[in-house]
Amino acid sequence: MLSFQLERFGQPLVRIERPTPVPQGSEVLLRVDGCGVCHSDVHLTDGYFDLGDGNKVDLSRAVSLPRTLGHEIAGTVVAAGPDARTIAAGARRVVFPWIGCGNCPLCEAGDEHLCNAPRALGVNRDGGFSDHVLVPDSKYLLEYDPLPPEQACTYACSGLTAYSALKKAVPLGAADSLLIIGAGGVGLSGIRLARSLYQLMPIVAEVDKSKWELARAAGAGEIIDPTAEGAQRALVKATGGGVAVAVDFVGAATTFAFGFSVLRKAGKLISVGLFGGSTPIAPAMLAMKAITVSGSYVGSLREMHELMQTARAGALSPLPLVARPLQDAFQALTELKEGRTRGRAVLRPSTQG
């Protein structure tokens, strides 16, 4: 099988051809029909997460190289191990990639995505920047018809991350203001889901005005540039004292600080993005305004089942996509890192030259 692997952090991916694996036990082998390119793949390629002030999370201990990246995967079953009896060849499935050890309290509670000994595809095990991928068990495969594979694969991270974050926004009434920060792939998913979950058009903060039209098409209400002079004061005034919930899909120091600053009393900031940096918070403000700050990391298998049910019912508009051949994997990563991607880039191995 053909894969594009990360062999050294900070270096281009390497084209590798090797024997296609034969599934054992409960394993299932899929031919990859679509694999999304995510900001997490950019961080994994760099080999670190930026914490600001010169501090970094070194990923070299958690990610063994060489590694095939790619965790937003949709494909067709081509073979299954003798214990994988609930799946047949030819089945089209999207993969839940956030697999845990299966034995710890977090996994037993259904929170495999938070496991401290993860087996996540594209991170701890080889993923979808390839024409085939091996999945440990058929329980991580979800039906996605009638969606096209290019759309279906994005629900494994972009969609799931947005869905799990927005579920944490409850209670959120029709009269409440919801702010979504960032209109990249995950942010656009959040805008679409806000209308489905809460029947409201969120306010969107996005510094890149070339993304504003995509945000409007996804269902945004007002769109603002958070770096514009007086933006914070104007938003607080327009919302009658601040927004009820701000969801930061960027995770930069400036976006986190902006989201925190425009919360009303008893407001909630949900931090999702992993762009990097750090920003100070005055503890007294948390208490005086009764503010909640919550982190949200991808989502659970249960939540992905909920999300796919909504998506398959046609309740969500399509995510803007840029289809790329598998050989463009590193170029897609570079363009995403440089902020030149509009919507979600999806690799299509079938278009490989």
CA atoms within 13 A on the CB side of 120: 27
- Cβ pair 4, 130 in contact under 8 A: yes
Name the pLDDT band for 61 (thresholds 50, 70, 90): confident
Q: Where are the domains of the chain?
A: 2-157+299-351, 169-295
Q: What is the mean pLDDT of residues 61-70?
A: 94
Q: Could you give the CA distance from residue 182 to residue 248 in angstroms, rounded to a whole number?
A: 7
Q: Domain 169-295 maps to which CATH number in 3.30.9.10, 3.20.20.70, 3.30.420.40, 3.40.50.720?
A: 3.40.50.720
DSSP-H helix ranges across the chain:
39-46, 105-108, 149-154, 160-167, 185-198, 212-218, 231-238, 253-261, 283-288, 301-312, 329-337
Q: Could you give the CA distance from residue 167 to residue 162 in angstroms, rounded to a whole number?
A: 9
- Three-state DSSP state, 203: strand
- pLDDT score of 85 more than 70: yes
pLDDT at position 343: 86
Q: In the structure encoding, which two tokens stand for residue 29, read together?
A: 């082998």
- pLDDT score of 323 more than 90: yes
- Cβ pair 342, 314 in contact under 8 A: no
Say if 2-157+299-351 and 169-295 have the same CATH topology.
Answer: no
Q: What are 231-262's pLDDT values in tens digits?
A: 999 999 999 999 999 999 999 999 999 999 99
Sign of CA dihedral 30, 31, 36, 42: positive
The chain-wide mean pLDDT, for the chain, equals 95
Q: Cβ contacts of residue 133 below 8 Å, gap of 6+?
A: 29, 30, 32, 70, 73, 75, 95, 121, 126, 127
Specify the residue for token string 């900001």. Answer: 39
Residue of 274, 255, 276 lying closest to 53 (CA atoms): 276
Name the pLDDT band for 353 (thresholds 50, 70, 90): very low
Q: What are 15-36's pLDDT values in tens digits?
A: 999 999 999 999 999 999 999 9
- pLDDT score of 288 more than 90: yes
Please give the backbone phi and psi of residue 301, each rounded to the nearest 5 degrees, phi first.
-60, -40
Distances (CA, A) of 118 to 124, 239, 300: 7, 41, 13
pLDDT at position 105: 98
Q: What are 128-159's pLDDT values in tens digits?
A: 999 999 999 999 999 999 999 999 999 999 99
Q: What is the mean pLDDT of residues 64-68?
A: 97
Q: In the structure encoding, which two tokens stand for residue 295, read together?
A: 């982190």
Q: In the structure encoding, which two tokens stand for residue 197, read together?
A: 């979950």
Q: Which CATH superfamily is domain 2-157+299-351 in?
A: Medium-chain alcohol dehydrogenases, catalytic domain (3.90.180.10)
